[in-house]
């Protein structure tokens, strides 16, 4: 429900009224992409968010090459280096642990980079699949209408009326831990948002004359769907997608925190935080606080970008 409402902001909450002023200012010759880019850059906070996100993504992608340690390779860990505060030197290798180590001797800096990798991987892969399924279901419903539409939308409604955390928690409790299982659970809880978004934009389109024209020309269903309907659904999808990817990262972290997420030997940020939770009272703050900061920074960056994108891509302005 909360995800829905958070996303619902994009549709219900923001008044379209204030936007035309900005839209009108755009020079006539500007391409839509350029207009979006320009308007996006008008908000410095959003640009900051984008830069931050790109930096985080770069760290996540490059983790194996830029971190001092592979925290998943047990042979590289040394228990004798466990629990060192930030800035300590390693007994084993002589290197420095800038953000300290956890009780296994895992370098927190490396662990955070790898944790980001897992968190972003889970979020993006589930995003991709959820969008694919959602788009397929949404366009089918909008285009075919009738019974098919009713059926698909009933399922969507039903699913959206349950809190995603509850569904994901139950699924994972049943599946067991594992990155693949977390991804599956996230796809299951997310696809319905996209299906609904795509359907509502597509319905607007199907009522337009050019679709009728295309139908009259006896173009194939597939062609009409992919060439004509879909492109018009992209802006709202981007908006929903940015909100959802932040939600997915937070949800994965929460699930891992509750102990049903990723396995302990390949910790995501959420699991690192959960792991460090045991040490919070004892003063070993770094085991939990640093991964937490990384997680929050990631989510904030995405939300800042998403917030701005919602303004510049406001679906109502595109129709």
Partner 1 sequence: MNVRPALLIASLVAATSLTPAMAADLSIGLKSEPTSMDPQFHNLATNAQVLENIFEGLTKQDAVQRLQPGLASKWEASDDTTWRFTLRDGVKFQNGSPLTARDVIYTLCRVPLVQNSPSPFTIYTGAISDVTAEGDDVVVVKTASANPLLPTDMASLPIVSADALGAEKTVTYKPDGKCKGMGDVPQSPAFNSPDIAVGTGPYKLDSFVRGSKLVLTKFDGYWGEAPAWDTVTMRPISSAGPRVAALLSGDVDMIESPPIQDIPRIEGAGFKIIDALSNRIIYLHLYQQDEKAPSITGTNGKNPLLDKRVREAISLSINRKAIVDRIMGGYAKAAGELLPPPMFGTNGREPDGYDPEKAKQLLAEAGYPDGFGITLGTPNDRYINDEKVAQAIAQMLTRIGIKTKVDAVTASQFFSRRNKLEFPIYLAGWGASTGEMSSPLKSLVATYDKETGMGPTNAGRYSNPAMDKILTEAMSTIDDTKREDLLKKAEQMVLDDYGIIPLHYEQTVWAMKKGLSYEPRVDQYTIAAEVKPASE
Partner 2 sequence: MIVYLVRRLGQSLVAIAAMAVLVFVGVYAIGNPVDILINPESTQAQIAATMQRLGLDRPLWEQFGIFVWNALHGDLGISFVYGRPAMQIILERLPATMELALVALVLSVSIGIPLGVLAGLKPNSIGGRSIMAGSILGFSLPNFWQGMLLILIFAVLLGWLPAGGRGETVEVLGIRVSFLTLDGLKHLILPAMNLALFKMSLVIRLARANTREVCLQDYVKYARAKGLSSRRIVLVHILKNILIPVVTIIGLELGSMVAFAIVTETVFAWPGMGKLLIDSINLLDRPVIVAYLMLTVLIIVTINLVVDVIYSLLDPRVRLSEVDA
> Which does residue 233 touch among partner 1, partner 2, none (CB within 5 to 8 A, set by kind)?
none
Of 89 and 180, nearer to partner 2 (C-beta) is 180
Which partner from the list partner 1, partner 2, none does 151 bind, CB cut-off 5 to 8 Å by kind? none
Instruction: Give the three-class secondary structure for 33.
Output: helix
Q: Which is nearer to partner 1, 8 or 263 (CB)?
A: 263
Q: Which H or E element spans position 96?
A: strand 96-97
Phi and psi at residue 107, in whole multiples of 5°? -65, 120
| Among 128, 170, 213, 264, interactor with partner 2 by CB under 8 A | 170
Residue 170 in the binding site for partner 1 (CB under 8 A)? no
If one asks whether residue 153 binds partner 2 (CB under 8 A), the answer comes out as: yes
Which of residues 94 and 176 has its CB atom nearest to partner 1 in the complex? 176
Q: Which of partner 1, partner 2, none interacts with 22 (beta carbon under 5 to 8 A by kind)?
A: none
The string over 113-122, giving b where at least 16 C-beta atoms fall within 10 Å of a residue's C-beta and e elsewhere, is bbbbbbbbbb
Residue with smaller CB distance to partner 2, 77 or 123? 123
21 class by beta-carbon count within 10 Å (0-12 exposed, 13-18 middle, 19+ buried): exposed
Distances (CA, A) of 282 to 130, 258, 277, 286: 41, 21, 10, 11
Among 5, 51, 74, 132, binds partner 2 (CB under 8 A): 5
Residue span binding partner 2 (CB under 8 A) among the ranges 52-60, 67-75, 120-128, 251-259 = 251-259
Helix axes 269-277, 234-257, angle to 10 degrees: 30
121 near partner 2, judged by CB under 8 A = no
Q: Which of 262, 138, 251 is nearest to 186 (CA)?
A: 251
- Per CB under 8 A, does 78 bind partner 1? yes
The answer to whether residue 116 forms part of the interface with partner 2 (CB under 8 A) is no
CA dist 111 → 91, 105, 106, 119, 260 (Å): 18, 11, 7, 12, 20
Distance CA 314, CA 301 (A): 20
Kindly tell me which of 231 and 259 has the beta carbon lying closer to partner 2. Answer: 259
Check residue 51 for interaction with partner 2 (CB under 8 A). Answer: no
Residue in this structure with the two tokens 């809190």, named with its chain if needed:
163
Q: What is the secondary structure of 164-229 as a DSSP string?
A: HHHHHHHHHHHH-S-HHHHHHHHHHHHHHHHHHHHHHHHHHHHTSHHHHHHHHTT--HHHIIIIII
| Nearest CB to partner 1, comparing residues 71 and 236 | 71
Compute how many residues bind partner 2; rule: CB under 8 A: 49
Applying CB under 8 A, the residues found at the interface with partner 1 are: 74-75, 77-80, 82-83, 103-104, 176-177, 259, 263-265, 277-284
Residues that bind partner 2 (CB under 8 A): 1-2, 5-6, 8-9, 12-15, 17-18, 45, 153-154, 157-158, 161-163, 165-166, 169-170, 173-174, 176, 246, 250, 253-254, 257-258, 270, 273-274, 277, 280-281, 285, 288, 292, 295-296, 299-300, 303-304, 307
């Amino acid at each position: 429900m909360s995800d829905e409402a958070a996303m619902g902001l994009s549709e219900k909450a923001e008044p379209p009224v204030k936007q035309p002023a900005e839209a009108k200012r755009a020079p006539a010759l500007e391409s839509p992409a350029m207009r979006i880019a320009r308007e996006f850059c008008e908000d410095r906070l959003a640009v900051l968010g984008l830069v931050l996100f790109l930096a985080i993504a770069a760290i996540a992608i490059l983790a194996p090459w830029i971190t001092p340690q592979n925290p998943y390779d047990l042979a590289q860990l040394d228990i004798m280096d466990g629990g060192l505060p930030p800035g300590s030197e390693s007994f084993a290798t002589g290197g420095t642990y800038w953000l300290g180590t956890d009780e296994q001797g895992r370098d927190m800096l490396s662990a955070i980079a790898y944790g980001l990798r897992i968190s972003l991987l889970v979020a993006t892969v589930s995003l991709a699949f959820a969008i694919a399924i959602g788009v397929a279901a949404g366009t089918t419903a909008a285009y075919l209408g009738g019974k098919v539409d009713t059926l698909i939308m009933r399922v969507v409604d039903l699913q959206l009326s349950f809190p995603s955390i509850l569904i994901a928690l139950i699924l994972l409790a049943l599946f067991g831990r594992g990155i693949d299982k977390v991804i599956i659970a996230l796809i299951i809880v997310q696809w319905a948002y996209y299906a609904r978004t795509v359907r509502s934009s597509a319905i607007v389109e199907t009522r337009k004359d050019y679709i009728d024209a295309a139908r009259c020309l006896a173009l194939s269903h597939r062609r009409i769907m992919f060439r004509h309907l879909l492109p018009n659904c992209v802006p709202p999808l981007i908006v929903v997608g940015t909100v959802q990817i932040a939600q997915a990262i937070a949800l994965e972290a929460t699930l891992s925190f509750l102990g049903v997420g990723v396995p302990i030997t390949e910790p995501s940020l959420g699991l690192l935080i959960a792991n460090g939770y045991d040490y919070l009272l004892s003063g070993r703050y770094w085991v939990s606080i640093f991964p937490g900061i990384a997680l929050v920074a990631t989510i904030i960056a995405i939300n800042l970008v998403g917030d701005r994108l919602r303004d510049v891509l406001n679906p109502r302005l595109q129709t």
